Every structure is written in C-alpha cells, then in structure tokens.
Structure 1
Amino acid sequence: MSVEHASVEDLGRELGELIAQTPEYKRFEEAREAVQRDAEVQERIGEFEQLRAEFMQARQTGQATQSALREVQNAQADLHSMPTMRAFLDAQDELNETLKSVNEAISEPLAVDFGGEAGGCCQE
C-alpha cells in the first residue's frame, strides 16, 4: 500500500493487523484465553478484586490499615504466582515491549512520544 493512495487511518489499520500477526500478540491472546477458561484463576481474580475494592473504599474513608494493604498485596502475589496467570503476565510484558518498540519507531520522525504525548495539551 503506497502512502500516496493510503490514508493515515488505513496505514494504522494495516499496522494493527501486522501487530496482531506477531508471535508476541498471538502468545498474549492464547494466554488471555487460558486465563478466561481457568475457573480457579477466575475465582482468585474475583477474590482479589473484592479485597482491592474493599481496601480502596476503606482508603477513601480514611479507614485503611496496613494489615488490609498486606492482605491485598498477598492476594495479588498468590494470584500472580498461579502458572496460568504468570504465563499471561509474561506474555503481556512481551507484548508491551513490542508495542513500546513500535511506539518509538512511530515517534522518532515526529519528535513526539506518539503513545504518550501526541494527544496531550500544553505539555512542556
């Protein structure tokens, strides 16, 4: 597709399609689907989200304790140590590194951090 005949949006769509074909993206999707299928992981996610929501509410009212924070941190550590969840987090990290590289490649000729600053206002 030549730049003369393609809109920036078309090129963006093509880039998205190419990213979706990378091994990093495919591993991420497979790991995400595995997390969604794993009943034990889903249960732990629910438990962690509940604890985190309770802690955030307590924090907003000034009633959060160090003990409650440790409980949330321990629940998160337990969740992240599960093999299926660990594989997902590793795949997510790999995909993020790939997307960071893509962002840098796009940003270089623009002299702007495409993913971080391009949409911001009044940044120095």
Structure 2
Amino acid sequence: MSIETARTDELGRELGDAIAALPEYEAFEDAKAAVEDDEEVQSHISEFEQLREEFMVARQMGEANQQQLQKVQRAQQELHSLPTMAEYLEAQEELQTRLEDINKAISDPLAVDFGGEAGGCCQD
C-alpha cells in the first residue's frame, strides 16, 4: 500500500468520524431512534408497507386501480403527519442537504460527482 493510499484511507475514516459528529447526523440518529421506539408510528409504517405491497402486486398483474393508489397515498400522508415521523423526515432532509454539500466539496477539485447518479463514462 502506498503512502498516498494509506493517507487517503485515513482521511476517509476521519471524514466519516467528522460526519458522525455533525449536529445534522446526531439529530437524524435521534429522530430515527424515536421512530423505531414509537409503537403508533411502527403500526402506521406496517400498514403503509402492506398497502404499498398490495398495490405493487396488483400493478404488476395489471389489476391496480386509482382507488388502491389513493388508499396508499392516504396511508402515506397519515404516516408523514405523525409528529415523530415528521421530525424524522425533516432530520433526514437536513442531513441529506449537508451530505450533498460535503459531496460537492469532495467532488469539485476532482471534476467528478461521486455521490451522484451512476452513469456512463466520459459524457459531457
């Protein structure tokens, strides 16, 4: 392993530690734990997942209808309106925004967007 490779690996670990110490990351982890510990939220998540799965199966079989879609959308809206879930979604969005900023800081000097969509090589 070259000195450059070892140093890059070390910097990567330091960056990971720094990200884990960000207030946005800590808020996300706290919100995630709150969602996992909230029985009402977990019940709504299970209901939403079941309705979504049923809709996906019906869609694959060509049997999905607008009423089923609306039922899934209502379940999602109810889930997202729960205070614990709303806080989680907000924390997730704030962390995502911060990570996008970090990705830009890393990618700018390289002219490469490592956090972006995977795509073909060398396209302008």
- Decide which moves more: 4-13 or 85-94: 4-13
What's the CA shift for 1:32?
A: 0.1
Instruction: Calculate the TM-score normalised by the size of structure 2.
Output: 0.91
Q: Identical aligned pairs, as a percentage?
A: 58
The 5 A counterparts of 1:64-103 are 64-103=64-103
Letter in 2 for 1:104: K
Cα 1:107–1:5 shift into 2, 3 Å: closer
Unpaired runs of 5+ residues, structure 1, are none
What's the CA shift for 1:4?
A: 5.6
The 5 A counterparts of 1:39-118 are 39-116=39-116
Q: Give per-residue Cα distances to partners, 1:8-30, cap 9 Å, x unaligned.
A: 22211110110000100000000
What's the CA shift for 1:122?
A: 3.1
User: Aligned with 1:68: secondary structure?
Assistant: helix
What's the CA shift for 1:120?
A: 4.2
What's the CA shift for 1:7?
A: 2.6
Letter in 2 for 1:22: L
Unpaired runs of 5+ residues, structure 2, are none
Moved over 4 A (4+): 3-6
User: Aligned with 1:116: secondary structure?
Assistant: coil
Aligned to 2:121: 122
Letter in 1 for 2:95: L
